[in-house]
Amino acid sequence: MLSLRRFQKNILILIACATLAWANHPATAQDERAAPPEFEVATIKPHPAGDRVISWGGEPGRFEAKNVTGKMLVEQAFDLPEQQVSGGPPWVDSQHFDVAAKIADAQWQEISKLDYYHGQQLIRHML
């Protein structure tokens, strides 16, 4: 099991990788002058070993992913097929996490006005 210090370091590396990938992502239809959408609050915790069930979803206004790897989160965030995400430290494809995030009420009201595809795109941007 990862020590807390190593876990924190791994999360920082994952954030750096996602930031670099985001910088190279094509611009979206969203006005670039507007503040990017973001979760109101989010937690990322190591998933207990032994469980093989992976889940994505959450109640309205929330995002939850259970037993997912850093690589899976990047694939989801950038809507990429598995074969297009490679590299990174070994843990990015072996360490599993639980992610729980809340979307601010005002942001959720805006998202719920959109069609499914565009709503999911905004949530991906938050991820």
Domain that holds residue 44: 4-25+38-126
H or E stretch including 45? strand 41-46
pLDDT at 49: 87
pLDDT averaged per 10 residues in sequence order, the chain, 127 residues: 63 61 53 74 93 91 95 93 90 94 93 92 90
Reduced DSSP (H G I as helix, E B as strand, rest coil) percent helix, strand, coil of the chain, to 5:
45, 20, 40
- What pLDDT is stored for residue 4 in this prediction? 64
- The answer to whether residue 72 is domain-embedded is yes
Query: Is 33 a member of any domain?
Result: no
- DSSP-derived secondary structure letter, 39: -
pLDDT for the residue 50: 85
Tell whether 99 is covered by a domain: yes
Indicate the SS3 state at residue 42: strand
C-alpha–C-alpha distance, residues 101 and 15, integer Å: 16
Do residues 70 and 14 make contact, with C-beta atoms less than 8 angstroms apart?
Answer: yes
pLDDT at 71: 95
Query: Residue 32 domain-assigned?
Result: no
Q: Look at residue 36 in the predicted model and tell me its pLDDT.
A: 77
Distance between CA atoms of residues 53 and 74, nearest Å:
19
Q: Is residue 100 part of a domain?
A: yes
Number of domains within the chain = 1
